[in-house]
Chains A and B, each alone.
Chain A
């Protein structure tokens, strides 16, 4: 029987949660014995070619590309896990939710103190994903099965969750492993 597959992605996140995955240290060898990494920044596989048991989603949705990737994860993973505060509540990117999107773009590309943009052009290209009006947590876009809060969730939290899911037991995190910071 082939090993269950695990996919990961970083949407509107900072890759800090992926750093936390790596922070499981030598246990990653143990993990590689029992799972196969599929679409993930770790393997650099860009698209789903096979169905996965678990999908770990870092980051919320800030643009249409995030939404597309997240929906692909929902279609291709049995169990989807919101990993980190950005996925569970929007996180730092959601700080822009208090500013109108036009003002956001003007500040970034036109009015910023270190900006040199004499023509005042705001990038608008078909290659660039459009921003959403607000940054959304993952579960406001697709159904999520589990949530691992934390900025980032500790390596022990991720380890506890993934090993529980692989042994098909409920993810029941002990008190010190559920933290929002």
Chain B
């Protein structure tokens, strides 16, 4: 059994296993730290910075930073909420996010974070980049307009599917999601059953012929903010419900 360390998040005492990330330790205690590029089961990379917390006063990404005894973590402060809001707003203006006709709307993690943060409009000017759509694959569509470069598909394909279908080319604002360097999705061995197909937090990778099946009002984030399941699990425990 590994060593147990104790530390605080927003003043609340937390116990965690040494080596656990702050994000995982917080989640186990019912504290939701918002994140986009991290998904349970993947190796964290700390790319999107939405999970930024302050550790002993210094900003760090909670998905990569390991816990340590006695650290003081700030998570739900006005400053950190403001940073997270701004990251999400920048992602909205940097791509082409037309929620009104997007198949992912209601189940989209980017949109859900914006809802959770109460964003009604981004404060930055829209960039309207020209991006490609790859509809060559018989079962899967890749719409780069909606890609936020989180790399979840890349890591899932490589680490879980053992295929490395996706990768990134170029740098900075020119960075785009590539398929086997410079091919079409149809030329890859990507399969409908690959976990990478379900890894996308936004509507960039979608299964064909599955759109708009769930009525508005019953989609994942229509009624409850993203992270609610993490937070209510803790409430059950506090209220004397079933232990985690």
Chain A residues in the interface with B (C-beta under 8 A)? 82, 85, 88-92, 94-95, 97-98, 134, 137, 139-140, 144, 146-149, 151, 173, 175-176, 178-181
Contact A91 B125 (CB under 8 A): no
| Closest CB pairs A-B (n = 4) | A151-B100, A180-B99, A147-B120, A147-B121
What interface size band does chain B fall in?
A: 20 to 34
What's the Cα separation between A92 and B222 when bound, in Å?
22
Contact A181 B216 (CB under 8 A): yes
Q: Which of B110-118, B175-183, B234-242 contacts A (4 or more CB under 8 A)?
A: B110-118
- Which of A92, A151, A178 is in CB contact (< 8 Å) with B115? A178
B59 at interface, CB cutoff 8 A: no
Contact A176 B121 (CB under 8 A): no
Nearest Cβ in chain A — how far from B231, in angstroms?
A: 13
19 contacts between A and B (CB under 8 A): A82-B121, A85-B100, A89-B121, A90-B126, A91-B98, A92-B98, A98-B130, A140-B125, A147-B120, A148-B120, A149-B121, A175-B224, A176-B222, A176-B223, A178-B118, A179-B115, A179-B222, A180-B100, A181-B101
The closest CB in chain A to the CB of B222 belongs to A176
CB-CB contacts below 8 Å: B76-118 with A: 92, 96-102, 105-106, 111, 114-115, 118
Most buried by B among A139, A173, A180: A180
Contact A149 B120 (CB under 8 A): yes
Grouping DSSP codes into helix (H, G, I), strand (E, B) and loop, the A interface class, with mixed when no group exceeds half, is mixed
Residues from chain B with Cβ under 8 Å of A151 in the complex: 99-100
What's the Cα separation between A82 and B120 when bound, in Å?
10
What's the Cα separation between A139 and B101 when bound, in Å?
22
Residues from chain A with Cβ under 8 Å of B106 in the complex: 181
What's the Cα separation between A137 and B98 when bound, in Å?
13
Nearest Cβ in chain A — how far from B40, in angstroms?
A: 24
Most buried by A among B120, B216, B224: B120
Contact B126 A181 (CB under 8 A): no
What's the Cα separation between A89 and B122 when bound, in Å?
8
B128 at interface, CB cutoff 8 A: yes
Contact bitstring B144-172, A, C-beta under 8 A = 1, else 0:
00000000000000000000000000000
Most buried by B among A82, A90, A95, A179: A179
CB-CB contacts below 8 Å: B127-150 with A: 128, 130
The closest CB in chain B to the CB of A95 belongs to B98
Contact A181 B128 (CB under 8 A): no
Residues from chain A with Cβ under 8 Å of B125 in the complex: 140
What's the Cα separation between A92 and B99 when bound, in Å?
10
What's the Cα separation between A35 and B111 when bound, in Å?
34
The closest CB in chain A to the CB of B96 belongs to A98
What's the Cα separation between A87 and B3 when bound, in Å?
55
- Which of A92, A97, A178 is in CB contact (< 8 Å) with B100? A92
Residues from chain B with Cβ under 8 Å of A85 in the complex: 99-100
Residues from chain B with Cβ under 8 Å of A139 in the complex: 121
What's the Cα separation between A31 and B223 when bound, in Å?
28
